Amino acid sequence: MKKLLFALTLITVLFSNAQNRFDNVEIITHEVNQNVYMLEGAGGNILLQVGESEVVMIDSQYAPLSDKLKKEIARITDKPLTYLINTHHHGDHTGGNENFNTDQVTIIAHTNVMKRLTESEKSKGFLPEKVLEEAYELSLVDENNLIIHVHHAHTDGDSFVYLTKNNVVHTGDVYFNGSYPFIDLNSGGSITGYINAQKQILTTINEKTKIVPGHGAIASYNDLADYIPMLVDLKTQIQKEISDGKTREQVEKNNSITKKYDAEGFGDGYISPEKIRTIIYDSLILEATHK
């Protein structure tokens, strides 16, 4: 009986902590361009595009933050939401979907986002009503948005969104500004696909484009351009370690691989230096297995 009571108490405490961790989260708005805003809270960055008669929201963060987000959005515009685009399926980007979904809102995402949200038994209100395979042009009254799928990058369902007139791109988690990226290998991500996705973004945008990353501060073309060589360098170094017969544990403990970038603060985020080394190691092993 005591064990049961302890278990129930533990569950209650864990649930309460999960709820309370959002209580002190503040939604901070950054103006990216005229009528384009980045909303920072907890989880992935949200982009809000306020058009002449349509409002587009990219990603929805966690469900417990929806009321705070709605309040902040109402401060920015009194126009109703028209489209909600998900850059991928992770809960810190899709958790609020159902809370923002109305009869006037169309949720758009890649087909693999639909697949993964369905597999996780999300209710209908979470799910995309419009799915894309490769690319989709969202035609608005005053602008066209390009939603472009990138293959096996952060996940297998990533898309970046390019606001052509405003010259702003939301990369989703294909870019973590200022920190090592999380690459979800269990959801079809890979280091090679991640690098290729960033290169594809660069060829789509231009040097004046403002970048809203999945996580981190608003960035520039050059910020992303400088990020790619770091990933290429880490991939090259770890591939050499693999070719030399080094084990996963040896690579995990080899601080010299990431030392240069650790000193620049890239390991201070969600992904530690040890974690990025093992992610890339595991990715390269998987890629070699599937060749």
Read off the pLDDT band of 258 (50, 70, 90): very high
Residue 3 has pLDDT above 60, yes or no: no
Domains and CATH numbers, the chain: 23-227 (3.60.15.10)
Query: Which of 178, 175, 166, 179 shows the shortest CA–CA distance to 194?
Result: 175
Read off the pLDDT band of 113 (50, 70, 90): very high
Read off the pLDDT band of 8 (50, 70, 90): very low
Read off the pLDDT band of 142 (50, 70, 90): confident
Mean pLDDT for the chain?
93
Region 180-204: mean pLDDT is 98
CB 40 within 8 A of CB 28: yes
CB 251 within 8 A of CB 273: no
% of the chain residues with pLDDT over 90: 88
Residue 235 has pLDDT above 90, yes or no: yes
**CA 200 to each of CA 195, 196, 203, 210: distance values in angstroms, whole numbers, following the listed order:** 9, 6, 5, 16
Region 152-175: mean pLDDT is 98
Residue 5 has pLDDT above 60, yes or no: no
Query: Which of 251, 238, 245 shows the shortest CA–CA distance to 284?
Result: 238
Residue 10 has pLDDT above 70, yes or no: no
Region 230-241: mean pLDDT is 98
Residue 14 has pLDDT above 90, yes or no: no
Read off the pLDDT band of 35 (50, 70, 90): very high
Read off the pLDDT band of 19 (50, 70, 90): low
Residue 7 has pLDDT above 80, yes or no: no
Query: Which tokens sit at 211?
Result: 């970048």
pLDDT of residue 21: 82
Read off the pLDDT band of 2 (50, 70, 90): very low
Residue 12 has pLDDT above 90, yes or no: no
